Amino acid sequence: MTGSRHPSFPLALLPCVSRLELQPAQRLFRAGTSPRHIHFIEQGAVRLVRHGRQGEEVVLHDARPGEFLAEASLDSLRYHCDAVASGASVVLRVAKADFQRLLTEDAAFERTWIALLGAQLRTARARIERLSLRSAEERIRHLLLSEGRGPRCELEVAGTLKDLARQLGLTHESLYRTLARMQKDGVIDRQGLRLRLTQGEASQRMT
């Protein structure tokens, strides 16, 4: 494998991994096809989608760097959704047969995999909790507090602000207005796709 490995990618998988670059809107796999690889997002974002009766896109999950994608396919005969790159992305993939062999033969990797699944489950639950919040500002605050890093909960948005709006269950107009208001009110700092709490807001949270 060329390039740097994402820090949360298990070392045991390195001998079997290949690296795939995706262009925006490129499909990684299609519903109905047989799973042959386990995928991990190294850069960018990939969304799992189904289509409604009118052809509308229904987003099931937005996978971001550090996440495995459609891990349930490990025990499935076919994919039940499409996977589409939200923007330019890099995916690490391991053949399903190699992955299953490691789970059987390597107890340390098995424990690592169980821990990773647990972490992704907690993240999924946090996202469900976030969508239950009523206001756009509450959802943005929740996102920064649950997924941001460091004392100021810094977060770099994967994809575009439209992708973030979809992830938060908001229209992109509502997201833009709320971000502008929060920035004006001294709640957040924003530089492009990088968001974080202001120093004053972070200090209040710590007290």
For 41-52, what is each residue's pLDDT tens digit? Answer: 999 889 899 877
Residues 114 and 138 in one domain: no
Listed residue (37, 35, 44, 36) closest to 17, CA to CA: 37
Residues 41 and 115 in one domain: yes
Task: Tell me how far apart the terminal alpha carbons of the chain are, to the nearest angstrom.
Answer: 46
DSSP 88: S
- How many whole angstroms separate alpha carbon 181 and alpha carbon 130? 20
- Tell which phi-psi region holds residue 52, choosing left (phi > 0), alpha (psi between -120 and 50) or beta: beta
H or E element: which one contains 206?
A: helix 199-206
Q: Is residue 35 part of a domain?
A: yes
Pair 161, 193: CB distance under 8 Å: yes
Which residue range is the domain that position 151 belongs to? 134-206
Residues 121 and 140 in one domain: no
Residues 121 and 139 in one domain: no
Listed residue (85, 94, 92) closest to 158, CA to CA: 85
Residues 39 and 121 in one domain: yes
Residue 2: the pLDDT is: 45
Listed residue (42, 200, 8) closest to 118, CA to CA: 8
Residue 3: the pLDDT is: 47
Residues 24 and 46 in one domain: yes
Residues 29 and 45 in one domain: yes
Q: Is residue 1 part of a domain?
A: no
| Residues in the chain, pLDDT under 70 | 1-5, 205-207
- How many whole angstroms separate alpha carbon 148 and alpha carbon 150? 7
Pair 15, 98: CB distance under 8 Å: no
Structural domain count, the chain: 2
